[in-house]
Amino acid sequence: MAELEYRKLTGDEVAAELTALTGWAVENEKLSKRFSFNTYKDGLVFALAVGQVADQMNHHPDLEVGYARVHVSVYTHAVNGLSPFDFELARRIEILLA
């Protein structure tokens, strides 16, 4: 894991970080994943939990909530790319589902 700091990761670092995250991908320069749920409410509860985790880190993803699905995408504007914060947030989001 890269040190948690605001710096733009290299392509090799991004590739290495992605190997440890199931289902996450880089789409349009953002770290993204689509989550599916049994109900709309389950997706809303998940989105709220993601928001709370993100707020604790002061690192806020884009969340798109649909029927029984949530799309999460994250990007570090301060470095104009992906940083260790993006991958740490993804790891914390995965813990929510464990």
**What is the pLDDT of the chain when averaged over all its residues?**
95
pLDDT at 5 over 90: no
CA distance 95 to 15: 21
Pairing verdict, β 30-36 and 25-27: antiparallel
CATH placement of domain 11-97: 3.30.1360.20
Closest of 51, 3, 1 to residue 21, by C-alpha: 1
Percent of the chain surpassing pLDDT 90: 93
pLDDT digits (tens, 9 = 90+) for 25-69: 999 999 999 999 999 999 999 999 999 999 999 999 999 999 999
pLDDT at 1 over 60: no
pLDDT at 2 over 60: no
What is the predicted pLDDT for the residue at 4? 81
pTM (predicted TM-score): 0.93
For residue 90, give the H/E element and its range. Answer: helix 84-97
Pairing verdict, β 25-27 and 69-74: unpaired
Closest of 61, 38, 36 to residue 48, by C-alpha: 61
